[in-house]
Amino acid sequence: MSKIIKRILLGLLAVFVVIQFFRIDKTNPPVVSEQEFMALAAAPADVSQLLKDACYDCHSHETKYPWYTNIAPVSWWIANHIEDGRKHLNFSVWGTYDQKKQAHKAEECYEEVKKQAMPLKSYLPAHPEARLSDEQRARLVEWFMALSEGKNLSESTRQGDAGAAPALNEAGGELGEQGEHEQQEKE
Ligand code: HEC
C-alpha cells in the first residue's frame, strides 16, 4: 500500500474518532398523557401496536435509540429524521393540535401509509417490526380515514386518558361508532 493511501486512511480514522465526541441528544421530552394520541383517538389495540412499531420512533416522544444511534455520523442522520418527523407529526402532543389540524394530520397519515411513503424506507432494514404487510397497511389506512372524517375529534380531545374510553363512547360521535364497527368486523 502506498504511503499516501495509508495517510488518507489514517486521516479518515482520526476524523471518525473525533466526530464520536459530537453525540446526539437522546433525552425524550416528557409524554403528557392527556395529550397522547392513543387515548384521545381511542385507537384499538392492534392499531396502537402498529403505530408503536412503525411510527413512534420518529413521530413521538417515545423514541427508542438502538446501539447504532451512538455512532456518528449515522447518529446525526437519525437524529435529523427524528427532529424532522416530530415537527411534521407528533403523536405525543396530539391534544395540542386543534380539531382541523388533527383531521388534516389523520388524512396525511392514511395518504403516506397508502402510498408506502411511511414508515421511511431507510428505517426498515433495521426494523423488521415496522415492515407493514398489505393487510396491516390497509388496516391503518382504513382507520386513519375514519379518524380524519370523524366530526368529533375535539370532543375526544377533552376526554383525557385511556381510562376514559367508555366515556368516549358515551359521548357518541364517530369514534364510538367506529369501535362498534370494529367489533362487528371481528365477529
Ligand atoms: C425513520 C423515521 C420515520 C418513521 C419510522 C416514520 N416517519 Fe413519518 N416522517 C418522517 C420524516 C423525517 C418526515 C418529514 C419529512 C418527509 O415528509 O419525508 C415524516 C413525515 C410524515 C408525515 C407528514 C407528511 C407531510 O406532508 O407533512 C406523516 C403524516 C407521517 N410521516 C406519518 C407516518 C406514519 C403514519 C408512520 C408509521 C406508519 C411514519 N410516519 C413513520 C420520519 C418517519
Model pLDDT for residues 49-61, shown as the tens digit of each residue: 999 999 999 999 9
Residue 84 near ligand 1, beta carbon < 6 Å: yes
pLDDT at 177: 43
Contacts 24+ apart (CB under 8 A), 61-69: 61/28, 61/29, 61/30, 61/31, 61/86, 61/90, 61/92, 61/93, 62/28, 62/31, 62/92, 63/26, 63/28, 65/26, 66/126, 68/126, 69/24, 69/26
Please check the confidence at residue 151 and state whether its pLDDT lies above 60.
Answer: no
113 or 162, which is more confident? 113
Residue nearest to atom 30 of ligand 1 (CA): 109
Q: Which atom of ligand 1 is nearest to the CA of 108?
A: 29
Q: Does position 80 have pLDDT exceeding 80, yes or no?
A: yes
Say what the pLDDT of residue 150 is: 81
Q: C-alpha dihedral over 163, 166, 171, 173, to 10 degrees?
A: 110
Average pLDDT over residues 134-144: 96
**pTM reported for the whole predicted model:** 0.82
3-class SS shares of the chain: helix, strand, coil, % to 5: 70, 0, 30
* The pLDDT of residue 1: 72
3-state SS string for 101-158: HHHHHHHHHHHHHHCCCCCCHHHCCCCHHHCCCHHHHHHHHHHHHHHHHCCCHHHHHH
Return the domain boundaries, the chain: 3-186
pLDDT above 70: residue 117: yes
Answer whether 108 contacts ligand 1 (Cβ < 6 A): yes
Which of 118, 139, 141 gets mutated to test ligand 1 (max ligand atoms within 8 A of its CB)?
A: 118
Residues 187, 185: Cα–Cα separation, whole Å: 5
96 pLDDT higher than 80? yes
pLDDT of residue 17: 97
pLDDT value of position 84: 98
Q: What percent of the chain has pLDDT over 70?
A: 80
For residues 113 and 107, give the distance between their C-alpha atoms in angstroms, rounded to a whole number. Answer: 10
State residue 73 phi and psi, 5-degree precision. -90, 0
Q: Rounded to the nearest whole angstrom, what is the distance from the C-alpha of residue 103 to the centroid of ligand 1?
A: 16
Compute the average pLDDT of residues 8-20.
97
CB 86 less than 6 A from any atom of ligand 1: no
pLDDT reported for residue 34: 94
